[in-house]
Structure formats: structure tokens, C-alpha cells
Chain A
């Protein structure tokens, strides 16, 4: 309780942290392992939407009559003040899906959420697995691959692996590699793994053994999670902030747990969210996809809320997906596997610059990739590389280790 008030008080004070400041904190962190106070440390969370979400109905090309021609049954109407089913206005070309009105739209208006259309990878397989793998590995496409080297693992190696945690039951490919990364799925309430008596006996068996430190770290992490994320404690924090009459559930609850941990000692995280493969009946302003957007938006807004303004200012959240979907709707009121996507970037300290960022192109039959999909104009590695150079102060050499052979693209996002 006191902590939240403290955060709010700090947020009110003029303590704006520039990109240069983040750079310094990151560099210090990487080199000396000195215990940097949690508030002066950049944080990054990657949210992976597995299944290839329909980006064209998230960031709606409301300025394009071509869009309305090609999606006669699933298009979202142009912004209209009196129509709750219409797109939320962003700029002359783009609007936002109305399911995000209560959650994400306020962040957009505050300059804390931006979208990058025509983003993605050069992988052209249009296979979920193939493309997810190649994105998570982040290695040059087409060459021999090292399946035990994901780009977040390589990033953690440049920063501090002790601060990385995958919020998943299994370690995703992105986090696999030589640096040891912990993982803990947060869908369920965390409980200590063993009771006190057996814990002491287990500790005595592993004392002085090769796995002794590992076992102790695992048991302690679980106890830490159980303590920091106990239902009572989460409820007390929520009550103290005087919001949320309805208890959070589903992804929002998970997101609050993630934020709670990232407010603490973790600063590099990963979470994946499934259910985006909308081949059939995806709906429009309401329906299947709208429900997914609503739940996701609520969770993302909860992260900003739970971190508190001060930590949120140093945090970026990137939402990506393996590919976009076909620009045209299919015969089942759905969309099929496509190419270019739209990435979301959230953060309390984003640079100013409008709600839509990155290279863009006018949408016509000619500008579609293979006359069916968004082209990729903003490679995910180049974009993330540019972001991290600003946020973590990665040198060119360090970035070349994270994303070999990639020229970073500095979109001045933070």
C-alpha cells in the first residue's frame, strides 16, 4: 500500500527519464551487476500472439476504400461518434478496433501505445510453427540454424540473465540458449513446491552436491512467487488502490502477476497468448476476434497500471505475432495465413510521434504482397534492435550478437 502511494508521489514529481538515462542504467547493470535500484532500470516484455492475429482488423485502414471493398462482411466501420461499433479514430489513415476503447485507447491518447504496421519477418513459409520458430530464433533466414539459441536468450546474455524470467510453463524458443533462464507460468496461483519438512530434508540431500545451488534457487524462486503473488497480497494491493470492484481474471490476472514481478527484480520477460488463428467467423466489431482483443487489451492496460507510473516510464512492451493474415476476407467470414503484421509498442516513456510508426505504404491491390498480404517494410529484428539500442544502450557489436547480420532501424520510439 505504502509502496503504491510512494510510486504515485514519485510520478508526480518531475523525474522524467530520458533515453540517455536509460542507456546509462542499462550499461551499468550489464557491466557491474551492481544492485541498481529497481526504479532506474529499463524493462522489456515481449508478448507473442501465437496463431497469426488479424492485424488488419486491429489497426484498421479506415482511410482505404480498398479495405472496405475487400472485407465486405468483417470490416470495421470508419470512426463515427454515435456508433460504438465503429473504429476509434487514430489519424487520417488508421483507426483502432473498438474492443480496445476502455483499455488501450486511453494509453494511445496519452502517447503510451503506438502501432507499427507492415512489420514482420522475411520468412515466407506462412506456416505457424516454421515462422514462430524462425522469429524466436532470430537468426538469418535460409542458413543453417542453431535451434538452441533464441534472440531473447542472446539479449539476456548481453544484459543480466538473473533479471530474465519467462512467464510460461515451458521455456519458449526465444529464451532457449546457453544462458540459463528461469521460467514460471503464472496462470495458476503460485504455491511452495514442497512442505517445510520435506524442504529441509531435500536441502540436506542436495547440500554440497552439484545441483545444490540450482535446487535452492528453484525452491526459493517458487517461495518468492508464492509470497509476492499470494491471492491475499494481490487483493490487498488492489483494494488499497481503490479500483477493480470485480476481481481480475484470465489474462488480466496473469498480466497483473507479471507486472508485480517486473516491478520487482525481473526486467526482461516473455509471455505468449494463443487463440488468434481466425480462419472462420472471426467477427467484426464484436465476436471471436473482438473478444480476444478485449481480453488482451485489458491485460496490457493492467500491466501499465500494476507497474505504476514510475516503473511504467522505464518499461516497453512489444506485442508481436508470427504473421498477418490475408487482406481479403475468405469464404468463411475469416482470414487465412498472410505475411506482414502490425506490432504494438507500449510504454510509459515512449517518444512523442503519433500513434502509428515505421515505414508505411498506401494500400492498393498493387502494394499488397503477392496480391494478398501486407508487405513487410519493418523487419522485427531491425525494429527491436533500434529500440533496444536506445533503451538498453546496446552497442553495435552487442546487437550483432543478438541479431547477427541485422542493421538496426532507429524509429526513435523511446
Chain B
């Protein structure tokens, strides 16, 4: 029985090494040379990705921080994961066909749930609809966790999480669960380190966002300003960005007609509107629902013309200094500190404005700042990072077989995947995550992970114990960096399990 997972583990290792070798040959002459000691390297690795691993630290040491950062800033969003992990992702339902077909297939279940001939038929259709939705959400979650745990492009995985949270949608509304994987892969990841403007446009045309913030209900004869408000308040300028209620209403008028069409049949469009109608998969712009009057937004007149009004408005929003400040401060809070240095935020914001929202250019001042690798003033880990970093540290060579317990822990710790109901996303600061109850739960989870996390790594269909990994390299690397009281407590442990449990429970491990 254990032969299979051992084989898989070796494959995992091999491809990681091959990738690192490739990276080392890459040669990036423009990257600055930034010398770091071991403690700074650990901090930098902990910050740029989902938690330092032995392999990642070796890669940074081999390449140097500058070339490593430059490589992370230019990810290949289509890069394959280590072999067995990629094979699992390829086999998922969310990897088959396109999203419009999957949503339409499920929609037919939903409709039969209402209209089936007999009650048995209706019940079976409703069940099939719920199962299709549940499976899509579970698979999207599992794929995300596999990427975060094993991808070499750790910064891409950080940014993908950050942008999903920034452009948050909740899985519980209507058919959004079926749209999550496509939302990640088409609206967010391709732009995660690319153009903020392009991402804003892709989000505004994605059915997940249009559904979530009710823009599919927004029409000239029934204005719904939900998306318009959050687009200004949460996605671009920030609540104190200087826009008015009038701007919200005018933006809502611009957004009229942007909606979702699940039915593959063409929509009914009056002949005079045919040229202006747009359809791309589930997205539609329906000119019959659009308000063609002129709009006044942020002191600018937007001529009523149809879908392209929105492009003009998004250009305008990306050029606002308030947007640059709001987005850059949020990035700095996420990566660096609950109170990031204002001069660093300024440097990022001016890069953002100069490049019209080039995210890699915006990130450079932060990634190359002394603060990023500094070992004082650490940042408290949120539950997602706490869990991911503990698995990456303790079990980096092991393949996550069952993602469900991990998804359950995330939920219990208050940060379930796709589970934030409100559009503001999960909070990024310590005070949201370090309450007494949450710390206690962390200790409980730390014990389960520290004693081997068997539920995550046990080969399917078996029930035996899972051997502890060799923790010696980890201990040798970590112990010199710990506070004396933590070292003192760890010295009293009597087994690798207890050592790992305590280290994961320590104040040192709560920060990065």
C-alpha cells in the first residue's frame, strides 16, 4: 500500500528540483543584488509566498533575492504543477469543457427542480443541482490549496488570493459556485501581476461578480447601485476617495445592461440595438437594458454610447490618485504590516500611477525595500496563511491527498474558501484573527498537524498511521531564529510530534 504515495512523493520532489535548475539558468541581469543573511531569507520567503520551505530557501540562496523576485514577478499562469498534482487538477470536473456549458447543464437541473412532472423527478433534479454546485466549489477549493502548497510561483499564488479577496464574491449566492474556477482563471490570475486596469475590466465582465453584486438586475428601468458602489468603495478609490453619492448613481447608470445570460440561445434584441449587443460565454451586455443618456462622473462627461462607456470610466478610475493610494496601501498591509510605512506606500502609488496600474512595477518598491526582509515588526498570520505555512514547513515533500479537512479547518478558523459573505473580503489585519477563541482553535489544529496530519496525507482507502517526516532539517533551520522562551519550551519536548505541535503553537510561528 505505501508504495504508491512514496512514488508520488519522489515525483513531486524531482519536478521541483528541475524547476529550480531552470530558474537558476534564467539569468536576469536587471535584478538588483541584495545580500541577505539566513534570518532575512527566512522572513523574505515567508512573506513572498505561503510559507518558507527548505526548497524555496535553497532556491533564493542559489539565485539571489533580486533574480528570484524578478522571476516571481513574471509568472507563467499556465505553468504545470508537479506531475501528480497537475494530473489531479486535470481530472477535475472544473477542468472539463467551458464554464458556460457547465452552468447551463446545472441550470437545466434547477429548472426541472421546479417544473419536473413528478415530485420524485423534481427532488432528483434539485439534488443534482446542489451536488453540481457543491462539487464545483470543493474542486475549486482543492485546486487552489494544491497550487498554494506546491506551486513554485508562490508570489502568483499570493496575488491570486489577494485579488480574489479584493474582488470578493461569495459562493452562497445563486449559481456562483459553478463560476468560481473560471473567475479565478480568466478574470484574476492572468492579471494578478499584470495590469490592474485589465483585471478591473475582466472582473466587470465576469458573471460571478455581476451576479454577486446584483448588476444582473441593474437596468435603465430599475437601477441597482450595489456593484457601482462597491466598485468605487472597495475595488478602486476607497471609501474616503472623494467620490459622491451622485458618482455612485452615475456609475450605476453606466453599468446598466451588464449582466449574465445562462441560456445558450441568443437573447432577443431589437434590430436597432443589434450592433451594440455583446455576448461572451455567460456575460452579456444588453443595450435594451442600458441607459444611453450622458453621465457625469468625477467631473467628467461620459457620452452615452453603450458598453464602451465602462472602458472610459475604468480608465478614469485607474488614473485616480485615490485608487493608487487605496490599492497600494492594501497591498502593503497584506504583505508587510498592519501599519505600513507611508513613504513606501507613496513609492508604490507613484509607480502605480506612472505605469497606469502595472502591478509588477507597483510591487517592486515593496519587494526590494529593507522592510520586506527585516526581521523586526513582523506581521500576524491570518488563518489561511497560518495553516498553509504550517503544512509547507512540516510536510513540504508530502502530497496533500485529502483537502477536505484543510477546508474544514479554514472554515472553523473563520476564513473558509469563498465563504466571506460581504464584498469587503476577509480583513487583512491582526485584530480580526487573534481573538482568544481563535488562538485556542489554532492550538487545537496545531496539535492535529503536529502529530502528523494523517487525515490530509493518508492514502485514500487506507486507515493506518502516517509516518512523521524527518524534522531535523527544519529544526536545524528554525531553532536558532526563535525567542529564548520558545526555545526553552521546545527543549522540553520529548517527541517530534510534540516538537512540531509546540512550534506551530508558538508566538514565533504566529507571525511572518
Which residues of A are in contact with B by a Cβ distance under 8 Å? 125, 127-130, 132-133, 144, 147-148, 169-171, 173, 180-184, 193-194, 198, 201-202, 204-211, 214-215, 217-219, 221-222, 280-281, 331-332
CB of A335, distance to nearest CB on chain B (Å): 14
Known contacts being A198-B501, A205-B507, A280-B126, is A127 close to B173, with CB within 8 Å?
yes
Closest residue to A204 on the B side, CB-wise? B489
Give, as a whole number of angstroms, the nearest-CB distance from B32 to chain A. 34
**A221 adjacent to B437 (CB under 8 Å):** yes
Within 8 A of A (CB), among B465-508: 483, 485-486, 488-489, 492-493, 498, 501-502, 505-507
In the complex, which residues of chain A have a beta carbon less than 8 angstroms from the beta carbon of B437?
Answer: 182-184, 218, 221
| Chain A residues, Cβ within 8 Å of B489 | 201-202, 204-205
What separation, in Å, do the CA atoms of A171 and B433 have in the docked complex? Answer: 11
A219 touches B434 (CB 8 A): no
CB closest chain-B residue, reference A176: B432
- Is residue B414 contacting chain A, with contact meaning CB distance below 8 A? yes
Q: Are A193 and B440 in contact (CB under 8 A)?
A: yes
Answer yes or no: B290 CB below 8 A from chain A CBs.
Answer: no
A125: chain B residues within 8 A (beta carbon): 214
The 3 A-B pairs with the shortest beta carbon distances in the complex, nearest first, are: A218-B436, A218-B440, A217-B436
For residues 332 through 389 of chain B, which have their beta carbon under 8 Å from a beta carbon of chain A?
Answer: none
Query: Are the CB atoms of A147 and B439 closer together than 8 Å?
Result: no
How many inter-chain contacts with C-beta < 8 Å in the A-B complex?
110
Q: How far is the CB of A197 from chain B (nearest CB, A)?
A: 8
A130 to B438, CA, bound (A): 26
- Decide yes or no whether B396 CB sits under 8 A from chain A: no
Q: Is the interface of B mostly helix, strand, loop or mixed?
A: helix
Judging by beta carbons under 8 Å apart, are B427 and A148 in contact? yes
- The contact of B502 among A130, A205, A208, by CB within 8 Å, is A205
The contact string, 1 if C-beta is below 8 Å from chain A, for chain B 206-217, is 000000001000
> Which residues of the partner chain B approach A148 to less than 8 Å between Cβ atoms?
424, 427, 432
Q: CB distance B434 to A332 under 8 Å?
A: no
Instruction: Pick 18 A–B contacts, CB within 8 A, sort by A.
Output: A128-B172, A129-B170, A129-B172, A130-B214, A133-B422, A144-B229, A169-B411, A169-B412, A198-B447, A205-B483, A205-B489, A207-B485, A211-B434, A214-B439, A217-B436, A218-B440, A219-B443, A281-B119
A207 CA / B489 CA spacing, docked (Å): 11
Q: Assess whether A221 is in contact with B421, with CB atoms less than 8 Å apart.
A: no
CB distance from A215 to the nearest CB of B (A): 5
Q: Complex formed: what's the CA distance from A208 to B488 in Å?
A: 14
Question: What is the CA–CA distance of A215 and B432 in the complex, to the nearest angstrom?
Answer: 15
Task: Verify B436–A214 contact, CB threshold 8 A.
Answer: yes
- What is the CA–CA distance of A219 and B229 in the complex, to the nearest angstrom? 42
Query: Is B239 in the interface zone, CB < 8 Å from A?
Result: yes
B170: which A residues are within 8 A, CB to CB? 129
Cα A69 to Cα B510 in complex, Å, equals: 62
Given contacts A180-B431, A207-B485, 11 further A-B contacts (CB under 8 A): A132-B421, A144-B239, A169-B414, A182-B435, A182-B437, A201-B489, A209-B507, A215-B436, A218-B437, A221-B436, A332-B114
Query: Chain A: which residue is nearest B424 at the CB level?
Result: A147
Q: Which residue of A lies closest to B229 (CB)?
A: A144
Residue of A nearest to B233 (CB): A144
Task: Say yes or no for B58: interface residue by CB 8 A criterion.
Answer: no
* Chain B residues in 8 Å Cβ range of A129: 170, 172-173, 421
Asked whether, in the complex, the Cβ of B485 is within 8 Å of the Cβ of A204, the reply is yes
- State whether B436 touches A127 (Cβ < 8 A): no
Chain A nearest Cβ from B260, distance in angstroms? 15
Most buried by B among A180, A193, A332: A193
Residues A280 and B421 in contact, CB atoms below 8 Å apart: no
- Name the distance in Å between A105's Cβ and chain B's nearest Cβ: 32
Interface residues of B (CB under 8 A from A): 113-114, 119, 122, 126, 170, 172-173, 214, 226, 229, 233, 239, 411-412, 414, 421-424, 427, 431-432, 434-441, 443-444, 447, 483, 485-486, 488-489, 492-493, 498, 501-502, 505-507, 510
| Residues on B with beta carbons closer than 8 Å to the beta carbon of A209 | 485, 507
Distance between Cα atoms of A198 and B493 in the complex (Å): 9
CB–CB B502/A198 < 8 A: yes
**In the complex, chain A residues whose CB is within 8 Å of the CB of B440:** 193, 215, 218-219, 221-222
CB-based contact B436/A194 at 8 Å: no
Nearest CB in chain B: distance from A241 CB, A: 30
Q: In the complex, A211→B438 CA distance in Å?
A: 12
- In the complex where A147-B424, A170-B414, A211-B510 touch, is A202 in contact with B502 (Cβ < 8 A)? yes
Cα separation A127 to B211 with both chains bound (whole Å): 12
Residues of B within 8 A of A182 (CB): 435-437
Q: CB distance A205 to B506 under 8 Å?
A: yes
A133 touches B436 (CB 8 A): no
| Residue with the highest number of chain A CB atoms closer than 10 Å, among B437, B438, B444, B492 | B437
A132 to B443, CA, bound (A): 32
Q: CB-CB < 8 A to B502: which residues of A?
A: 198, 201-202, 205
Q: Could you say which of A132, A194, A210, A281 contacts B447, with CB atoms under 8 Å apart?
A: A194
Whether the Cβ atoms of A218 and B488 lie closer than 8 Å is no
A202 and B450 CA atoms in complex are apart in Å by 14
Q: A182-B435, A217-B436 are in contact. Are A173 and B421 (CB under 8 A)?
A: yes
Rounded to whole Å, the gap between the CB of A405 and the closest CB of chain B is 16
Say how far A175's CB is from chain B's closest CB, in angstroms: 11
Minimum Cβ distance to chain B for residue A397 (Å): 25
Tell me, in angstroms, the Cα distance from A183 to B441 when the chains sit together: 11
B122 partner, pick from A170, A180, A206, A280, beta carbons under 8 A: A280
Cβ–Cβ < 8 Å partners of A181 in chain B: 435
Bound form: Cα–Cα A55–B454 in Å: 46
CB nearest neighbor in B for A219: B440
User: Considering the chains assembled together, what is the distance between the CA atoms of A144 and B247 in angstroms?
Assistant: 13
Q: Which residue of B lies closest to A125 (CB)?
A: B214
Chain A residue with Cβ nearest B240 = A144
A205 contacts B214, C-beta separation under 8 Å = no
Residues of chain B within 8 A (CB-CB) of A130 are 214, 226
> Quick one: closest A residue to B419, CB to CB?
A170
Closest Cβ–Cβ distance, residue B451 to chain A (whole Å): 11
Tell me the complex Cα distance, A183–B423, Å: 23
Contact partners of A173 in chain B: CB under 8 A: 421-422
Q: Which residues of B contact A221 (CB under 8 A)?
A: 436-437, 440
A271 to B411, CA, bound (A): 17
Question: Are A332 and B414 also in contact (CB < 8 A) when A182-B436, A201-B492 are?
Answer: no
B506-A214 in contact (CB<8A): no
**Complex alpha-carbon distance, A22 and B472, angstroms:** 62
Contacts of B119 in A (CB 8 A): 281
Cα A198 to Cα B442 in complex, Å, equals 13
CB distance from B210 to the nearest CB of A (A): 14
The answer on a CB contact under 8 Å between A214 and B488 is no
Known contacts: A147-B422, A202-B443, A218-B437. The answer to whether A171 contacts B507 by CB under 8 A is no
Chain A residues with Cβ under 8 A from B434's Cβ? 211, 214
Selected contact of B439 from candidates A127, A218, A281, A331, CB within 8 Å: A218
Chain A residues closer than 8 Å to B431, beta-carbon distance = 180
